[in-house]
């Protein structure tokens, strides 16, 4: 027996139910309702888009690890998670090369160049999406969502946020609202379809209900920190409520919350642990920042939606938030500790 | 009588207390030989006070020191002193030790020994017939140190200081480490000396109130102490079961809502914390003039054949305890002195039991198996559970990179090495090990500066 007795430092036991892999699997489980809803609404297009992204991300990770002469980390399941999130954030109509290029950009520029899982500064899936969004503006733009396919009723309409953006833009320049736009606006303002997901949009973002179910699961499992979605939801509600009151947007705070990809971003994108702050307070501030930026981008940028850029911008300030939110140790230091 | 208030952070590891909780304390047969280390406490080492071939009796002093922060050592069996040797303690310190070979005639063994140490009568009261200094001196003479594990000399804690008055005395019966049940058994089997010791410590420190704090997962110990303490006017408090509730700082934070300053002691905030085992030994040292020679040690774990609690002479080899409990099983992986969260692994079973040894936990390969280590994913779980409100991952990674400035900015000195962070880490980063490395590097840097 003595030859197998180990000498090691404490602690000698660990919580085996918790692992990086388990956290990644939790994200996939949490996204299952939204994925199912995407397949239900966009049929074959969703299956192909998401499947292509997952496979491309895994292939890209294998390729980049091989190039860096590192073992391929199949076990941590982080590549398929990035692929799933990227796939769900694309429009149904995006051609196959967008999915593939986006995946390679996500794994390469988003992750591998920084040194792999745990070292990246920006959310890989959002890096990939930003890459294809800027490279293929037309195929990723508002018009790409609208089309006519038999069996897909939702794609006949523009996305709710696009309608709201056009409506607000027309109003602000004093243009007369046409009857057609008025009708579209009324349809887009209907809360129930917006909540269950019978609207046009990126594949995974349409159903607030599915995202809430999966998001709450993720927070209860503590694989996502609740402080981030809480911060995002609170600040987005406040800012969009004020904007609505000031006449800057025809949508109420509730529309802004359940429309577009705000909930998708709040629960599944901004909560990426690697690219968000460490401390509970920092996480909450991060969420507040994302929420404010999302609404500001929706109101004032050239794009109808702002989740992607809001998350990327806040990723960039995460190190600053970390430095400013070092907790005061029990029995130690005054407020001067943690400055620097 | 219950407090739900607690310290921040903490974890709930599987307790596994049932393995030994019901096993009544048994007395280890007198060993043939013991090795009594000259350092068993925090502070200055003792100088040997006996020559080789000298005959010593149970309770005779073997060594002492002139330093204030130190504690004398005593013979825990009767016999012949051998030549000074060296032993390696579980924490890796190589120290000198005095061997004593047992003589054929032992004054006490078996149940008689147990009764001599824990048997009554144990008077209660305000003990005004004792001067505070008398109690403190008796603690020093008896070689009393904290039996909870840190082994800080007890008389240092109890001595009165005009500048820092003590208002509250906490008797620590939390025993928050998984597996260990030695304090639990003491409280169930011998609550009276604990209460008497608590009252004596109160007299020594001049504390206005004394509270015996027990985690609420030990209903029998709570009931047993309440029965005795109630009559003596000592409060018994059930505290929340959460690791590391038994840490001094955490207990003071939970019960008194006071923060012990980093680098300071509870007495800096008007409190003194004394372990239940120490309290019982204190009663014996003061009232009967008997030194600390034996202690209860839990021998437990899935890797031990017959887990039980033993009354052990200090200086006995760990091997004797393990053999008495049937030996280890086939799948035993680590033999830990103490509990699984903060204990040290034993490489050599001839290592002697010291005053701070609360248990031996034998863990199996299944129990110590970890998920594969990945890079830190910055999830912040370690921040959530840190009972000191540190950012363990930052300190650990700074230590790993040798960036001592950064480690200090994140207050590495505040780490109590409780292991909560490494316990929850999903990436299985050896956080505590890295932080310890950082502390060693800092010490080296400091001594290099001095020279």
What is the structure's pLDDT at B1? 58
CA-wise closest residue to A109 among A261, A318, A312, A319: A312
Q: How far is B373 from chain A (nearest CA, A)?
A: 9
| Strands B359-364 and B294-300, bridge-based pairing | parallel
Cα B379 versus chain centre, distance:
33
On chain B, the residues whose CB falls within 8 A of the CB of A322 are: 394
Which of chain B's residues have a Cβ under 8 Å away from the Cβ of A6? Answer: 333-334, 345, 368
Query: Would the CB atoms of B375 and A119 count as touching at under 8 Å?
Result: yes
Measure the CA–CA gap between B253 and A134, rounded to whole angstroms.
Answer: 54
Break chain B down into helix, strand, coil percent, rounded to 5: 35, 20, 45
Which of B369, B380, B390 faces A329 most closely, judged by CB atoms? B390
Nearest CB partner across the interface for A14, out of B370, B389, B410: B370
* Spatial contact of B143 and B154, defined as CB atoms under 8 Å apart: no
Distance from CA of A234 to the nearest CA of B (A): 22
- Rounded to whole angstroms, the Cα distance separating A127 from A109 reads 7
Residues 290-349 (B) with a CB less than 8 A from some CB of A: 328, 330, 332-336, 340-347
Under a CB-based contact definition with an 8 Å cutoff, are residues A329 and B262 in contact? yes
Give percent of chain B with pLDDT exceeding 70.
99
pTM: 0.91
For residue B432, give the nearest of A9, A75, A273 by CB distance.
A9
Listed by start position, the domains of chain A span 20-140
Task: Nearest chain B residue to A7 by CA: give it.
Answer: B345
pLDDT at A104: 97
Nearest CA in chain A to B412: A329
- CB-CB: which of A1, A6, A10 is closest to B344? A10
Q: Using a CB-CB distance cutoff of 8 angstroms, which residues of chain B are in contact with residue A227?
A: none
Q: What structural domains does chain B harbor?
A: 2-29+109-288 (3.40.50.11540), 295-368 (3.10.20.600), 381-450 (no CATH)
Predicted confidence at residue B45, as pLDDT, reads 94
Chain-centre distance for alpha carbon B161:
25
What is residue A3's predicted lDDT score, i.e. its pLDDT?
53
DSSP E strands in chain A: the ranges are none
Which residues from A are below 8 Å from B348, CB to CB? none
Comparing CB atoms, the residue among A75, A222, A330 nearest residue B388 is: A330
Provide φ and ψ at B280, rounded to 5°. Answer: -65, -40
The nearest CA of chain A is from the CA of B66 a distance in Å of 32
CB contact at 8 A, B59 and B126:
no
Cα angle, residue B381 at apex, residues B376 and B387 outer, rounded to 5°: 125
CA distance A282 to chain B (A): 10
What pLDDT shows up at residue B2? Answer: 65
Give pLDDT < 50 ranges for chain B: none
CB hemisphere CA count around B376 (13 angstroms): 24
Whether residue B11 and residue A15 make contact (CB cut-off 8 A), yes or no, is: yes
Q: At residue B426, what are phi and psi to the nearest 5 degrees?
A: -70, -25
CA distance A4 to B333: 6
Task: Summarize the confidence of residues A310-318 as an average pLDDT.
Answer: 97
Residues of chain A contacting residue B247, judged by C-beta atoms under 8 Å apart: none
Output the pLDDT for position B371.
76
Q: Average pLDDT, whole number, for chain A? A: 91
**A245-263 pLDDT, tens per residue?**
999 999 999 999 999 999 9
CB-nearest partner of A6 from B333, B393, B413 = B333
* Contact with chain A for residue B130, Cβ under 8 A: no
DSSP output for A79-109 = HHHHHHHHHHTS-TT--HHHHHHHHHHHHHT
H/E segment holding residue B79 = strand B79-81
Interface contact flag, B380 A6, Cβ < 8 Å: no
Tokens 């305890």 -> residue? B321
Say yes or no for a CB contact (<8 Å) between B261 and A331: yes
Per-residue pLDDT tens digits for A209-228: 999 999 999 999 999 999 99
User: With a CB-CB cutoff of 8 Å, which residues 361-400 of chain B face chain A?
Assistant: 361, 363, 365, 367-372, 374-381, 383-384, 387-391, 393-394
In this model, does residue A338 exceed pLDDT 50?
A: no
Name the percent of chain A in helix, strand, coil, to the closest 5: 65, 0, 35
- Per-residue burial over B22-58, b = 16 or more CB atoms within 10 Å of its CB, e = otherwise: ebebbbbebbebbbbbbbbbbbbbbebbbeeeeebeb
List, in sequence order, the alpha helices (H) in B214-275: 219-232, 248-256
For CA atoms A132, A138, A142, A146, the dihedral sign is negative
B window 143-172, beta carbon within 8 A of A: none
* Dist CA A183 CA A174 (whole Å): 18
Does residue A339 surpass a pLDDT of 50? no
- ipTM exceeding cut-off 0.85 for this assembly: yes
Angle at CA of residue A283, ends A281 and A285, nearest 5°? 70
Q: Could you tell me which chain A residue has the CA closest to the CA of B376?
A: A118
In the beta sheet, which residues pair with residue B295? B312
Predicted local confidence at residue A337, as pLDDT: 41
């Amino acid at each position: 027996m003595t030859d197998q007795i180990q000498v090691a430092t404490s602690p000698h036991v660990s919580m085996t139910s918790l692992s990086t892999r388990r956290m990644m699997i939790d994200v996939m489980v949490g996204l299952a309702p939204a994925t199912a809803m995407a397949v239900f609404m966009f049929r074959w297009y969703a299956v192909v888009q998401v499947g292509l992204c997952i496979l491309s991300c895994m292939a890209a990770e294998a390729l980049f690890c091989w190039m860096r002469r590192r073992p391929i980390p199949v076990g941590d399941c982080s590549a398929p998670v990035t692929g799933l999130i990227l796939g769900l954030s694309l429009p149904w109509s995006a051609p196959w090369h967008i999915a593939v290029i986006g995946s390679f950009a996500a794994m390469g520029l988003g992750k591998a160049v920084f040194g792999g899982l745990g070292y990246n500064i920006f959310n890989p899936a959002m890096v990939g999406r930003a890459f294809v969004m800027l490279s293929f503006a037309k195929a990723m733009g508002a018009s790409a969502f609208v089309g006519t396919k038999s069996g897909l009723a939702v794609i006949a309409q523009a996305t709710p946020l696009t309608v709201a953006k056009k409506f607000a833009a027309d109003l602000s320049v004093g243009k007369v609202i046409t009857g057609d736009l008025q009708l579209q606006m009324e349809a887009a303002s209907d809360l129930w379809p917006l909540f269950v997901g019978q609207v046009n949009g990126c594949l995974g973002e349409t159903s607030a209900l599915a995202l809430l179910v999966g998001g709450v699961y993720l927070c209860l499992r503590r694989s996502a920190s609740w402080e981030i979605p809480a911060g995002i939801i609170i600040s987005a509600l406040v800012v969009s409520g004020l904007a609505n009151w000031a006449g800057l947007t025809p949508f109420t705070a509730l529309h802004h919350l359940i429309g577009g990809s705000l909930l998708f971003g709040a629960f599944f994108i901004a909560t990426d642990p690697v690219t968000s702050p460490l401390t509970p307070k920092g996480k909450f501030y991060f969420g507040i920042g994302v929420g404010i930026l999302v609404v500001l981008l929706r109101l004032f940028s050239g794009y109808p939606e702002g989740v992607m850029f809001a998350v990327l911008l806040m990723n960039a300030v995460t190190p600053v938030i970390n430095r400013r939110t070092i907790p005061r140790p029990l029995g130690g230091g005054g407020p001067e500790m943690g400055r620097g | 009588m219950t407090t739900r208030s607690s310290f921040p952070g903490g974890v709930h590891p599987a307790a596994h207390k049932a393995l030994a909780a019901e096993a009544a304390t048994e007395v280890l047969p007198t060993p043939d030989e013991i090795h009594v280390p000259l350092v068993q406490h925090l502070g200055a080492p003792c100088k040997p006070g006996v020559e080789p071939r000298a005959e010593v009796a149970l309770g005779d002093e073997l060594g002492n020191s002139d330093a204030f922060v130190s504690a004398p050592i005593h013979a825990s069996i009767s016999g012949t002193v051998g030549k000074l040797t060296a032993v390696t303690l579980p924490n890796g310190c190589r120290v000198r030790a005095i061997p004593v070979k047992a003589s054929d005639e032992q004054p006490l063994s078996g149940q008689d020994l147990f009764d001599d140490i824990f048997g009554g009568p144990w008077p209660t009261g305000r003990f005004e017939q004792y001067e505070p200094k008398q109690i403190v001196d008796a603690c020093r003479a008896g070689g009393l140190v904290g039996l909870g594990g840190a082994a800080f000399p007890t008389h240092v804690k109890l001595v009165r200081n005009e500048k820092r008055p003590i208002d509250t005395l906490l008797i620590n019966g939390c025993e928050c480490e998984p597996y260990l049940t030695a304090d639990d058994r003491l409280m169930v089997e011998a609550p009276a000396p604990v209460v008497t010791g608590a009252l004596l410590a109160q007299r020594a420190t001049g504390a206005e109130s004394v509270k015996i704090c027990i985690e609420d997962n030990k209903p029998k110990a709570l009931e047993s102490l309440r029965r005795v303490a109630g009559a003596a006017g000592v409060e018994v408090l059930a505290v929340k079961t959460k690791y590391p509730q038994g840490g001094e700082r955490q207990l003071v934070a939970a019960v008194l809502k006071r923060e012990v300053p980093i680098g300071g002691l509870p007495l800096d905030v008007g409190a003194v914390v004394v372990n239940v085992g120490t309290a019982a030994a204190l009663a014996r040292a003061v009232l009967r003039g008997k030194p600390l020679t034996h202690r209860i040690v839990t021998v437990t774990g899935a890797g031990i054949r017959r887990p039980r609690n033993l009354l052990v002479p200090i200086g006995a080899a760990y091997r004797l305890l393990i053999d008495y409990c049937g030996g280890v099983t086939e799948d035993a992986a680590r033999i830990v002195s103490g509990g699984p969260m903060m204990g040290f692994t034993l490489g050599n079973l001839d290592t002697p039991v010291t005053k701070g040894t609360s248990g031996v936990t034998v863990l199996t390969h299944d129990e110590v198996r970890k998920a594969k280590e990945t890079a830190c994913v910055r999830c912040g779980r370690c921040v959530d559970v840190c009972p000191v409100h540190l950012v363990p991952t930052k300190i650990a990674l700074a230590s790993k990179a040798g960036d001592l400035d950064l480690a200090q900015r994140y207050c590495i000195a505040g780490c109590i090495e409780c292991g909560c962070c490494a316990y929850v880490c999903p990436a299985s980063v050896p956080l505590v090990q890295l932080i310890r490395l950082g502390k060693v590097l800092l010490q080296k840097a400091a001594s290099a500066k001095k020279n």
